[in-house]
Amino acid sequence: MDSAFGRAANDLDEETFQALYGPWDPLSPGQVAELFAGSAVWWWVVGGRAARIGAAPRPHEDTDVAVSRSNLDGLRETLSGWHLWEANDGALRPVLAGQPLSAGCEQLWMRRDARQPWRLDFQLDPSDQDWVFKRDAAIRVPWPRAVQTIDGVRYLRPEIALLYKARLDRPKDRADLAAAVLDADARAWLAATLERLGHHEWAHLARRQGAG
């Protein structure tokens, strides 16, 4: 949950969170692929699930899926049988038919209805022709190098998924960095990009992991 709302939600214990917002029962990556089968929406799995591709798995409280913001109308059409909610600026708000998103909204949650658990956490991404890092648009990677498809599921490559985790720097983020399976080129790119972003300790950890 990489947003102002998500960071606040992560500060709550599970019982308090569910009492306020309801439970999560995330779709698996394979179920996400089934959900978007036949859709023209450009989507890809991000977060810890992407960072851990090829590594030992860990429990995930949700499934994070990025969608190009330019595909927002297509997303709403594809998910017309679901309820979408904005998770924005510390609040949840239903996205009703024909209603525009609030200014600055970058995150949507999805569930069938109020009696059902949350199933997906969508990140609205500025990327279009290439993958572009939203905090530094000069950091961009062509899509064939930015994503990989495994068993029909499109994942952001681990070295890119880890860029988002450096700023959060939670114990699970460091565990994802330590577990990530990266070749020498991917590790070098990650370390150099982390340095550019000012995450010097993470850059050091990325290099040390390779040396080990």
List, for residues 117-172, the tens digit of each pLDDT value: 999 999 999 998 999 998 999 999 999 999 999 999 999 999 999 999 999 999 99
Residue 7 has pLDDT above 70, yes or no: no
pLDDT at 64 over 80: yes
Within-domain flag for 30: yes
Q: Residue 140 to residues 126, 127, 166: CA-CA distances in angstroms?
A: 11, 9, 17
On whether residue 168 sits in a domain, the answer given is no
Give pLDDT tens digits for 34-53.
Answer: 999 999 999 999 999 999 99
pTM of the model: 0.89
Please indicate, yes or no, if residue 182 is contained in any of the structural domains: no
204 domain-assigned: no
Q: Please give the structure tokens belonging to residue 132.
A: 């572009």
pLDDT at 14: 74
Q: What CATH number does residue 28 fall under?
A: 3.30.460
Summarised one tens digit per residue, pLDDT across range 149-160 is 999 999 999 999
Containing 130, the helix (H) or strand (E) segment is none
| Cα distance between residue 151 and residue 197, in whole Å | 33
Domain that holds residue 120: 4-158
Sign of CA dihedral 173, 22, 9, 103: positive
Q: The tokens 């200014």 sit on which residue?
A: 103
Query: For the packed helices 200-211 and 184-196, what is the interaxial angle rounded to 10 degrees?
Result: 160
| Residue 5 or 148, more confident | 148
Is the dihedral angle over the CA atoms 52, 54, 57, 60 positive or is it negative?
A: positive
Q: Phi and psi for 85 in degrees, rounded to 5? A: -130, 140
- Calculate the alpha carbon distances from 16 to 13, 19, 35 in Å: 6, 5, 30
Domain count, the chain: 1
pLDDT of residue 56: 84
In-domain check, residue 186: no
